[in-house]
Amino acid sequence: MKAAVSGLGCLCAAGGTLPDCMEGLRSGLRHPVPPVRIHTSHAVPYPVFEVPDFGHPPELLRTSALLLAAAREALGDAGINESIISICRIGVCVGTTVGCALSDEPFCKAFRNGEDPDLAPLERVFRNNPAAVLARTFGLKGPCQVVVNACSSGTDAIGLGASWIEAGLCDIVLAGGTDELSRITLNGFIALKIVDPEPCRPFDRDRKGLNLGEGAAVLVLESEESLRRRGGRARARVLGYSAACDAHHQTAPHPEGAGLRRAIQDALGRAGVAGAELAFVNAHGTGTPDNDRVEGRVLADLLPGVPYFSTKGHTGHTLGAAGAVEAAFTVASLEAGWIPGSAGFAMPDPEIGSSPSEAVQAVKGRAALSTSLAFGGNNAALVFGAPS
């Protein structure tokens, strides 16, 4: 039994709701600027993709607040209200990397300096487990899981949530990812020398690195029985999911994309979809030299002629949220029959041997693939299909 996608919610730098995000992708406009909420001492004003004010509840840390906003949109889109929640087994599976753990920097500084800081900041962090925030807010009684697997976390959370539906553990699962911009994270990526001082250029010959972003996305996954019982509709189905590890390097992908190849092939096999049947691929496409070279070559080899694109030129790299944000875009693009251009791309890279979409284009097909590559050699792939 494949999990249906009955609702979608998303907010990031491209827009405050999923329809706004899709309009932002269609427009081709993007707004990377130096960070406003966080400050660093770097001479270079590295651009980031921040989310504008979105009515952040004061009791929540930003990562959880982003997730809650996306969840409210997704539940509304699915038509799920309190009466439905009260009679359904609803789980929560959320991917993140930064989470709320880096929101206690002042406490840690004071503690390291030998002071005796108040524990309130730490207690606030403990109350802001993102998955637990959703369960507590909506009164959900099913499984509650946070997935922390670097930049594939959001994809893995959706894959795990879909497995709960297929196993009959839940009627409905809120699955997705969330991450906020953090000064520590930004400094860390700058130290790795993989941040572009200009707006990022995924798959471009002259790419120099990524830009960080923030955001959240939630997919409402649902069983067919639950959909029929409440008269809901499926926007798509999760046809296949797979994850595979390169076991190659702490931060770099395998030169031949060994893990990514396995993840894509296994996900397609589980979905019963041939590569040539795919309408498009929503690629990870960070803008870093290694990621884009490896991913582009794998896609050109395994899926020749299938159009692909990266949306990180519009959103920045949202880390643990990236796979979920891109999954939401994948479903929405499959429904709409068009894919966006890869913002920032201008010059083909001869080392890759293929190029992403340069402008909005129409696509045909009933299935699409979304890929994620992560530190630690982690790779994940999701196949979505149009509802039959």
| 151 catalytically annotated | yes
| 93 catalytically annotated | no
3-state secondary structure of 6: strand
**Burial environment of residue 158 by CB neighbours within 10 A (0 to 12, 13 to 18, 19 or more):** buried
Burial 99-120 (b: 16+ CB within 10 A, else e): bbebbbeebeeeeeeeeeeeee
**Burial environment of residue 72 by CB neighbours within 10 A (0 to 12, 13 to 18, 19 or more):** middle
Residue with tokens 């920097």: 105
Alpha carbon distance 144, 369 (integer Å): 26
Q: Which residues contact 222 (CB under 8 A, 6 or more apart)?
A: 3, 4, 5, 6, 78, 165, 171, 172, 173, 232, 234
CA distances from 37 to 34, 49, 62, 182, 214 (A): 10, 11, 11, 9, 12
Alpha carbon distance 255, 263 (integer Å): 15
| Number of residues in the chain | 388
Q: Which of 144, 151, 200, 245 does the annotation list as catalytic?
A: 151
Of 254, 277, 372, 273, the residue nearest 318 (C-alpha): 372
CA distances from 266 to 233, 252, 255, 286 (A): 28, 22, 20, 23
CA distances from 124 to 71, 134, 195, 202 (A): 21, 15, 31, 37
Which tokens go with 166? 């297929």
| Count of beta carbons in the 10 Å neighbourhood of residue 300 | 16
Alpha carbon distance 339, 280 (integer Å): 8
Q: Which of 21, 170, 284, 314 does the annotation list as catalytic?
A: 284
Which tokens go with 269? 């096999």
CA distances from 23 to 28, 318, 332, 343 (A): 9, 19, 11, 14
Which tokens go with 268? 């397609």
The residues annotated with a catalytic role in the active site are: 151, 284, 317
